Amino acid sequence: MLKVENLRAGYGKVSVLHGLSFEVNRGECVALIGANGSGKTTTLKCICGLLPVEGGTITFHGKPIQNLKGHDIARMGITMCPEGRQVFPEMSVLENLKMGAYARSDAEQNSDFLEMLNMFPILRERSDQQAGRMSGGEQEMPIARIKAKGMTILLVEQNSAMALRLADRAYLYETGEIVLQGTGAELEKNPAIAKAYLGQ
């Protein structure tokens, strides 16, 4: 579904991604793990059209998307969900859901909202409340439920142990390159990863 090949990008003269490649198949949850500053967020920015791609290709359903505009990429069906509690705090819960659905047709939005309200019933009770008043836990989407729905996920998560438990496959970043890949279970057992990321 998503294929990144020889991706190169950076900030001005600073090169961050040095030609990395990975892919995500339909229905998979793929995790990117690695130390702070290794280039995970930079990769996501390139995929979403928020940072220029300097080399390589990104294909989505077989079509090249590198350097398309961010809003066009969003309309093709790629969405970045920020980590943590980054809701629009002054807007209501329902308005926040609508922001996330702006690229969907009215009919699709109605069925999406029903599905979300059924999946997360608390949202129904709180739909008129200011989103910033939700508790910490309520503001974070339980990603396991989204995965169970068959959504294709590229997961970048500070908590490597949780990422590897959830992921079908994972890639380990080191200074802008992928140095290891495997199933979540394989990487969880890998001594180098256990030592560096899982605190074992």
Q: Which residues bind ligand ADP (CB under 6 A)?
A: 11, 14, 16, 34, 36-42
The residue (of 36 and 135) whose beta carbon lies closer to ligand ADP is 36
Choose among Mg ion, ligand ADP, none what residue 59 binds, the Cβ cut-off being 5 to 8 Å by kind.
none
Per-state percent for the chain, helix, strand, coil, to nearest 5: 35, 25, 35
Site track for Mg ion across 98-127, x = CB under 5 A: ------------------------------
**Phi, psi dihedrals of residue 166, rounded to the nearest 5°:** -80, -30
Q: Please state, in angstroms and as integers, the Cα–Cα distance from residue 149 to each residue in 96, 118, 119, 144, 145, following that order.
A: 21, 12, 10, 9, 7
DSSP letter (8 states) at residue 120: S
The residue (of 2 and 16) whose beta carbon lies closer to ligand ADP is 16
Choose among Mg ion, ligand ADP, none what residue 36 binds, the Cβ cut-off being 5 to 8 Å by kind.
ligand ADP
Q: How deeply is 125 buried, as exposed, middle or buried, from its count of CB atoms within 10 A (0-12, 13-18, 19+)?
A: exposed
CB of 33 to ligand ADP, least distance (A): 9
The residue (of 35 and 180) whose beta carbon lies closer to Mg ion is 35
41 binds Mg ion (CB under 5 A): yes
Helices then strands, counting H and E runs in the chain, come out as: 10, 8
The residue (of 58 and 93) whose beta carbon lies closer to ligand ADP is 58
Q: Which two tokens stand for residue 122?
A: 């608390």
Choose among ligand ADP, Mg ion, none what residue 46 binds, the Cβ cut-off being 5 to 8 Å by kind.
none
Contacts with Mg ion, residue ranges (CB under 5 A): 40-41
